[in-house]
Amino acid sequence: MNSMGTAVSQRGSANSKTAWDVQTVRAAFPILKQKVHNKPLVYLDNAATTQKPAAVLDAILGFYKHDCSNVHRGVHQLSERATDAYEGARDTVRHFLNAKDIREVIFVRGATEAINLVAQTFGRRMLGAGDEIVITALEHHSDIVPWQILCEEKGARLSVVPIDDRGELRMDEFEKHLNPRVKLVCAAHVSNALGTVNPVREIVRLSHAEGIPVLLDGAQAAPHFRVDVQELDCDFYAFSGHKIYGPTGIGVLYGKSALLEAMPPYQGGGDMIRSVTFEKTLYNSLPYKFEAGTPHIAGAIGLGAALDYVTGLGQERTESYERGLLAYATEALSAIPDLRMIGTAREKAGVLSFVLNGIHPHDVGTVLDYEGIAVRTGHHCAQPVMDRFGVPATTRASLGLYNSREEIDALVAGIHKVKETFS
């Protein structure tokens, strides 16, 4: 099913065969046409959430207007259509991740729920007193706190691989953290606070050599480049729909089927059962065992449309465009006096975090907002990363596929305005 591929070309958006034209791409996103404080909106908060193309909005509205019904339950026409669309979206995700089997794709609320699901099922079953879970110093709170909760319950230990001054993972240290007590390794594919791309293939290879499974948090990776879970050979992969031009409240947990089969259910309720008596309940097969209750049907359909949109544009082309934009922005921002970039890894995606001497990031964000520029300021739910760099917060500009060089120029002009205001 590739209905959105059609929608993309009908709307005159760029497709994978034409040259990249950012204005044509932007035209697919209705929200970008607005003004904020009487200035054209410059949306540079894509790591927090991305805007949605018309194809996604149309898919969601189309479901509610024409097919709204529950899934897997009714014999009637609307329910059959809703089920087909929902399961079609699952197949789109399978393609997107190149998962071997559709049973390996579980719909969840987002990356946070995906990680909690693994912690509360796989983790709870595997972890004992004295065991360890390895994470990196780059993790978002969503890939720290679920493991802390679990470790506390089990009397286990969180073991953290450090980063260097560029914000790159210390791979020399990584191997030293692997030992027979480690039951799981968890790593961000891309850091949300710094943009560092972790060497995830190497992380998986080294961990598997010690027989340790790996969970990758792909919340900030899936929007920027092609992810192939078979090639990565990771055991679990998590991402959120809203960061990849899809709706909020929907995300994906990929897991290798052998691991998922062996895991107990996450939540109990409708759809995750095969049969129920008061004496014993038999659970449903994959992936339904992990999808208790009425799922976010419209969300899954919207996510399918978003992935069709992204693949329709051509992921290699998007990656190459964004790489050029990041290089342009890095050079422009680095030339600003008194601006310190936080996170200068050699492999980065989508993120520019910085501090301005003597000016609090919240003040930077407020002045930029008056210029129509949306950035995020704060600790970005990655407080240990802020601690590592000795700053309480940063200003973060994060890029999406619709951002232009003119918008980077506007950001640079905005930062000069901030400096003037506070000089």
Report whether the peptide linkage leading into residue 287 is cis, meaning its omega lies within 30 degrees of zero: yes
Tell me if 292 sits within 8 A of 76, measured CB to CB: no
> Among residues 89, 66, 10, which one has the least CA distance to residue 251?
89
Q: How far is the CB of 220 from ligand C6P (least distance, A)?
A: 5
Residues 6+ apart with CB under 8 A from 383: 141
Tell me if 291 sits within 8 A of 269, measured CB to CB: no
How far is Cα 272 from Cα 284, in angstroms, rounded to an integer? 5
Q: How far is the CB of 89 from ligand C6P (least distance, A)?
A: 17
Q: How far is the CB of 399 from ligand C6P (least distance, A)?
A: 13
What SS3 state is found at 257? helix
Q: How far is the CB of 226 from ligand C6P (least distance, A)?
A: 18
Q: Give the residues lining the site for ligand C6P (CB under 6 A).
A: 47-48, 110-112, 140, 142-143, 188, 192, 217, 219-220, 240, 376, 380-381
Take residue 181 and report the two structure tokens written for it.
């007590």
Closest to ligand C6P by CB, 220 vs 395, is 220
Residue 283: exposed, middle, or buried by beta-carbon count in 10 A (0-12, 13-18, 19+)? middle
What SS3 state is found at 377? strand
Q: How far is the CB of 42 from ligand C6P (least distance, A)?
A: 17
Rg (CA), the chain: 22
Closest to ligand C6P by CB, 13 vs 198, is 198
What SS3 state is found at 354? strand
Closest to ligand C6P by CB, 45 vs 58, is 45
Closest to ligand C6P by CB, 31 vs 413, is 31
> Which residues is 378 bridged to in the sheet?
394
How far is Cα 13 from Cα 313, in angstroms, rounded to an integer? 8
In the chain, what is the straight-line distance between the N-terminal and C-terminal CA atoms, in Å? 56
Side chain identity at residue 58, one-letter code: D
Closest to ligand C6P by CB, 99 vs 374, is 374
Side chain identity at residue 103, one-letter code: R
Q: Is 68 a catalytic residue?
A: no
Tell me if 38 sits within 8 A of 230, measured CB to CB: no
Q: How far is the CB of 16 from ligand C6P (least distance, A)?
A: 27
Closest to ligand C6P by CB, 48 vs 332, is 48
Catalytic residue among 151, 186, 234, 381: 381
Catalytic positions, written as ranges: 381
